[in-house]
RNA sequence: GACUCGAUAGCUCAGCUGGUAGAGCAAUACACUUUUAAUGUAUGGGUCCUGGGUUCGAGCCCCAGUCGGGUCACCA
């Protein structure tokens, strides 16, 4: 028996076993995955006909050969005016975006990764002999907006002073079977027929990226932000690491997890809500600084600022405290803003936000005192709940003291912190993984960075006293019994790691999607995530 | 989850007190050898989101649902 056959048999057995297993109920294929909608529009039929016609003419609409591209459109536009002699023989490739046919001459514009450039096609240049088929049929009739082509020729400037490619050779690289929305911009810069239905834009992001200028830029900036942070961390010698996404105990944050099941181990697993406890284990293991750009998953509501999967940067640095982290953060944010937007001041939602360091620091209880008049220090849970009610802040019996304080701050205070502000020194009940404040046992060494009334970062002097940590987890257990379904689970292995000793450490998490929103001026998280979560499209 | 707005041609949108659907772009055909929201002439293109109901008759009115946007709630 050959190896392949054996493997097939094994697989058959596996599949049989798999589908016989009563536990695997979630694998039933939903109906929206079953059928392909094959109804074609008039334009789709015509394009398929062109495709066949091209094949009959001996033109492969999907050729395999490498394309000898030697320049990008943007480079041509920038350099041609200065060094025209360099552009007597170019080859560019890209997608046809517009086509203007004027008898024996035509213009088209193509889009490559750098931008758009116009090309001029003259029939008798492209078809020097008797046979004008390539121009009259292939170019004029069978080439559509959306197709990929390569163009060889020289660069020149048209009468209307647009830098263009004078084409001597045109080759089809890939035929498009669906018509592209044609977005036009007039001389006033006004957009016409913009592809702007958010549902279509997010579901078909590829189309959004093709036809809507500026979308790509947002995502390029997103990567720039990540890269700038990597630079800052790597310069300091911190190590980029990866930690489990599938966790048996979803720890490190207060949130509802997604649940899944591992068949071989026959056990539940959770998609991580945070990687905090794993990164701290690495500090125990002897790394001085570790960081991870982590996809986290929270099974909660979705809105303009929440996607079920989102990206957090978490960083942990040994021998530092939260005060150091504040300075580190404000200088890094200033650097990121300057690098990605060219200025420390960014515009967001009609507001000017200045990211230049340093940022104001306000203890949370002071913030509450300022904006509500109530001093919550030394107040017990019942008293604080009473105050909350008097402020029209909703509370429920399952909320502990920490959550009530959080609710008061969230409702009455955070909106005022438009300019970057470190809110510091949270009450101990709100921060089960954070070290007690060096000057006040009722508080913790924690800050959250608020910008435009939204939390962007959260940081601690990390709790490294294993006995204190155990007690804090046990307090969370109490909250769980009260009905708080977000209270943290006890992670015994994490406690064990702390018992081996963790150096004093400061750690921070930054909501990357929200940071990118801020730096790109986007008010919806869906604008900064390539493929935001959506319900499946209906079929038929 | 609640409220609210929306879904009509490939795209963007009109569509009157209910009377068998329109425009621009895109497409097709013809003309045009430096245009640029190219232009001119002609043409084709529709499950009006789905399912019920009211009505002689529904894109429009009523009910239920689907998907999406916004606001709020939940939530970092």
For A379-413, give the DSSP string. --HHHHHHHHHHTT----TT--HHHHHHHHHHHHT
Q: How far is CA A323 from the centre of its chain?
A: 29
Decide which of A146 and A8 is more confident: A146
Nucleotide of closest approach to A526 (CA, C1'): B69
Q: What is the pLDDT of residue A205?
A: 95
Nucleotide of closest approach to A161 (CA, C1'): B34
**Residue written as token pair 């970057």:** A420
Nucleotide of closest approach to A41 (CA, C1'): B10
> Tens digit of pLDDT for each residue in A140-150?
999 999 999 99
Taking the CA of residue A107 and the C1' sugar atom of nucleotide B33, their distance in angstroms comes to 11
Q: What is the pLDDT of residue A377?
A: 85
Q: What is the pLDDT of residue A539?
A: 56
Taking the CA of residue A492 and the C1' sugar atom of nucleotide B13, their distance in angstroms comes to 61
Taking the CA of residue A121 and the C1' sugar atom of nucleotide B34, their distance in angstroms comes to 10
Q: How confident is the model at residue A30 (pLDDT cuts 50, 70, 90)?
A: low
Average pLDDT over residues A427-456: 92
Does A403 have pLDDT greater than 90? no
Q: How confident is the model at residue A254 (pLDDT cuts 50, 70, 90)?
A: confident
Does A9 have pLDDT greater than 90? no
A285-289 contacts: CB < 8 A, separation 24 or more?
A287/A239, A287/A241, A287/A318, A288/A237, A288/A238, A288/A317, A288/A318, A288/A319, A289/A233, A289/A236, A289/A237, A289/A238, A289/A239, A289/A315, A289/A316, A289/A317, A289/A318
Nucleotide of closest approach to A509 (CA, C1'): B76
Taking the CA of residue A157 and the C1' sugar atom of nucleotide B41, their distance in angstroms comes to 32
Taking the CA of residue A204 and the C1' sugar atom of nucleotide B54, their distance in angstroms comes to 39
Nucleotide of closest approach to A533 (CA, C1'): B68
Does A3 have pLDDT greater than 50? no
Nucleotide of closest approach to A122 (CA, C1'): B33
Instruction: Point out the residue nearest to B24 (C-alpha to C1').
Output: A193
Taking the CA of residue A309 and the C1' sugar atom of nucleotide B3, their distance in angstroms comes to 26
Nucleotide of closest approach to A202 (CA, C1'): B68
State ipTM: 0.92
Taking the CA of residue A130 and the C1' sugar atom of nucleotide B29, their distance in angstroms comes to 24
* % of chain A with per-residue pLDDT over 90: 74
Phi, psi of A235, deg, nearest 5: -55, -35
Distance CA A64, CA A48 (A): 20
Q: What is the pLDDT of residue A401?
A: 82
Average pLDDT over residues A208-214: 93
Question: A443 with A414: CB under 8 angstroms?
Answer: no
pTM of the model: 0.89
Nearest to A120 by CA among A138, A137, A135, A141: A135
Q: How confident is the model at residue A479 (pLDDT cuts 50, 70, 90)?
A: confident
Taking the CA of residue A193 and the C1' sugar atom of nucleotide B60, their distance in angstroms comes to 25
Instruction: Point out the residue nearest to B44 (C-alpha to C1').
Output: A42
Taking the CA of residue A210 and the C1' sugar atom of nucleotide B29, their distance in angstroms comes to 29
Question: A522 with A528: CB under 8 angstroms?
Answer: yes
Does A315 have pLDDT greater than 90? yes
Q: What is the pLDDT of residue A24?
A: 35
Instruction: Point out the residue nearest to B74 (C-alpha to C1').
Output: A301
Q: What is the pLDDT of residue A114?
A: 95
Average pLDDT over residues A338-359: 94
Does A483 have pLDDT greater than 80? no
Task: Strand B: list positions under 7 Å from protein Cβ.
Answer: 1, 6, 9-13, 24-39, 44-47, 66-76
User: What one-character-per-residue DSSP string does A429-481 give?
Assistant: GG-TTBPBPSS-TTBBSEEEEEETTEEEEEEEEB---HHHHHHHHHHHHHHHH
Q: What is the pLDDT of residue A191?
A: 86
Average pLDDT over residues A469-477: 90
Phi, psi of A347, deg, nearest 5: -100, 135
Q: How confident is the model at residue A29 (pLDDT cuts 50, 70, 90)?
A: low
Q: What is the pLDDT of residue A17?
A: 33
DSSP state of A139: I
Q: Could you tell me the sign of the dihedral formed by the alpha carbons of A463, A469, A475, A479, in that order?
A: positive
Q: Which residues pair with A408 in a beta bridge?
A: none
Q: What is the pLDDT of residue A19?
A: 34
Average pLDDT over residues A269-285: 96
């Amino acid at each position: 028996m050959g190896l392949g056959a054996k493997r097939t048999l094994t697989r058959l057995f596996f599949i049989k076993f798999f589908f016989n297993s009563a536990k695997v109920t979630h694998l039933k294929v939903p109906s929206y995955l079953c059928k392909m909608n094959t109804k074609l529009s008039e334009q789709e039929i015509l394009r398929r006909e062109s495709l066949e016609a091209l094949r009959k003419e001996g033109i492969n609409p999907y050729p395999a050969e490498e394309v000898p591209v030697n320049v990008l459109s943007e480079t041509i536009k920038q350099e041609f005016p200065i060094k025209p002699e360099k552009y007597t023989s170019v080859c560019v490739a890209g997608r046809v975006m517009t086509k203007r046919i004027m008898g024996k001459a035509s213009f088209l514009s193509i889009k490559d990764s750098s931008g758009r450039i116009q090309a001029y096609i003259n029939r008798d240049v492209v078809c020097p002999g008797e046979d004008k088929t390539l121009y009259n049929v292939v170019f004029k009739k069978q080439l559509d907006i959306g197709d990929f082509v390569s163009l060889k020729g020289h660069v020149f400037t048209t009468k209307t002073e647009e830098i263009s490619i004078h084409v001597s050779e045109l080759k089809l690289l890939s035929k498009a079977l669906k018509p592209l929305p044609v977005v036009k911009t007039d001389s006033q810069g006004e957009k016409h027929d913009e592809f702007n239905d958010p549902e279509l834009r997010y579901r078909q992001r590829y189309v959004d990226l093709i036809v809507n200028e500026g979308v790509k830029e947002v995502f390029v900036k997103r990567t720039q932000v990540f890269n700038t942070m990597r630079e800052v961390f790597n310069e300091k010698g911190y190590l980029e690491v990866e930690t489990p996404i599938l966790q048996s105990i979803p720890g490190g944050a207060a949130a509802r997890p997604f649940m899944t099941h591992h068949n071989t181990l026959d056990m539940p697993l959770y998609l991580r809500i945070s990687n905090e406890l794993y990164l701290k284990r690495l500090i125990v293991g002897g790394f001085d600084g570790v960081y991870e750009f982590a996809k986290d998953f929270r099974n909660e509501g979705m809105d303009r600022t929440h996607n079920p999967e989102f990206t957090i940067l978490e960083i942990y640095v040994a021998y530092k405290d939260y005060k150091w982290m504040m300075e580190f953060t404000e200088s890094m944010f200033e650097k990121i803003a300057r690098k990605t937007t060219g200025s420390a001041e960014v515009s967001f939602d009609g507001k000017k936000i200045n990211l230049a360091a340093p940022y104001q620091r306000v203890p949370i209880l002071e913030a509450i005192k300022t904006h509500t008049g109530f001093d919550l220090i030394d107040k017990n849970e019942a008293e604080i709940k009473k105050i909350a009610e008097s402020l029209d802040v909703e509370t429920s019996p399952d909320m502990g003291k920490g959550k009530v304080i959080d609710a008061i701050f969230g409702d009455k205070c955070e909106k005022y912190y438009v300019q970057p502000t470190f809110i510091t020194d949270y009450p101990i009940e709100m921060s089960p993984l954070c070290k007690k404040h060096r000057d006040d046992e009722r508080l913790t060494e924690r800050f959250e960075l608020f910008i435009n009334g939204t939390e962007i970062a959260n940081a601690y002097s990390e709790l490294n006293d294993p006995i204190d940590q155990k007690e804090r987890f046990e307090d969370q257990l109490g909250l769980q019994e009260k009905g708080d379904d977000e209270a943290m689970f006890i992670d015994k292995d994490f406690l064990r790691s702390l018992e081996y000793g963790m150096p004093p450490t400061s750690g921070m998490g930054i909501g990357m999607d929200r940071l990118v929103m801020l730096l790109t001026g986007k008010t919806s998280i869906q604008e900064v995530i390539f493929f935001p979560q959506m319900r499946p499209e209906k079929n038929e």
